[in-house]
Amino acid sequence: MTCFEFRRLLFAEPRRRTAEQEEHVAGCARCAVASEEALATDVRRAENVFIPVPDALPDRILLQYRRPVARYRIWAMAATLLIGVVLGAQLYRTYDTAKEHVASAAALPRDNPAVAAISFVLDHEPRLLKENRTGDPAVMLAAFQRLGLKQPAGGTTIRYLGKCPVPGGTGDHIVLTTPHGPVTLILVPDYPVGSRVMVADRDLTAVAQPVGGGGYIVVGESPQTIRHVERLLM
């Protein structure tokens, strides 16, 4: 390394020395002196840029950047409150059905979803249960999710899973075994089921409940059984 090359590197980085520079400075007194001087000058000059930092600067920055998080928390709280109100309203409505009018099937058209469901359960379900077929659980779960419903738990098991006709298309046909006896749940995520109606026909009771763009139908032995399953869905 020549003195020129040494000094070129020295002026660019006085505080670092490559192995070649170390070797050169060991044998060149003038460059060794220049190196010491350059380092001292650089340190003295650099001290000037270390200006005082304002007090509590990191704390002020933290407050600033937390703002979006704070907003996020406010939104989360608002969403929680809204969900609470919706659930409360839903529960109120569910309990309110204790006094709900149970219509006679004769008073409703045959293509009413609840009436059609009772007919389907009575006419076709015994045969389907004997066939012991099981549908796709993923499809069923997707239907629950699309309707914003929970899969019934609390001592309830799925006995049968398949498809069934509903007015306007097909639904997911689920037969549940509950502590209150067998219950048929039909999920209709893609077709409207009209306004809520509870109907009694022969020995069964059914309710059709709109949810989102579709709805569900529950068929059981009594209004109490149906209400029990409806609570499990919420």
Partner 1 sequence: MLAGKQAQFEKLIRAYSPELYRYAYWLCRDRFQAEDLLQETFARAWKARDDLRDEAASRSWLYTILRNERARLFERKRFDYDENQELDEIPDPATDIARDCEVRDAVRALPLGYREPLLLQWIGGYSCAEIGTIMNLTVGAVMTRLTRARIALGRAERSVKKGVAR
C-beta closer to partner 1: residue 48 or 195: 48
**Euclidean distance between CA atoms 28 and 125, whole angstroms:** 102
Min dist. Cβ of residue 57 to partner 1 (A): 5
Q: By rule CB under 8 A, what string of x and - marks binding of each residue 34-63 to partner 1?
A: -------xx-xxx-xxxx-xx--xx-xxx-
C-beta closer to partner 1: residue 8 or 133: 8
Angle between helices 3-12 and 19-27 in degrees, nearest 10: 130
Please write down the HEC assignment for all residues of 68-113: HHHHHHHHHHHHHHHHHHHHHHHHHHHHHHHHCCEEEHHHCCCCCH
* Contact residue for partner 1 among 3, 8, 23, 234 (CB under 8 A): 8
Min dist. Cβ of residue 52 to partner 1 (A): 9
9 near partner 1 (CB under 8 A): yes
First to last CA, the chain: 81
* Contact residue for partner 1 among 29, 69, 106, 153 (CB under 8 A): 69
Window contacting partner 1 (CB under 8 A); options: 10-18, 91-99, 150-158, 223-231: 10-18
Residue 133 makes CB contacts below 8 A (sequence gap 6+) with 160, 161, 162
* Contact residue for partner 1 among 2, 3, 5, 13 (CB under 8 A): 13
C-beta closer to partner 1: residue 74 or 86: 74
Nearest to 91 by CA among 214, 233, 225: 233
Cβ atoms within 10 Å, residue 218: 26
Would you tell me which residues interact with partner 1 (CB under 8 A)? 8-9, 11-13, 16, 41-42, 44-46, 48-51, 53-54, 57-58, 60-62, 64-66, 68-69
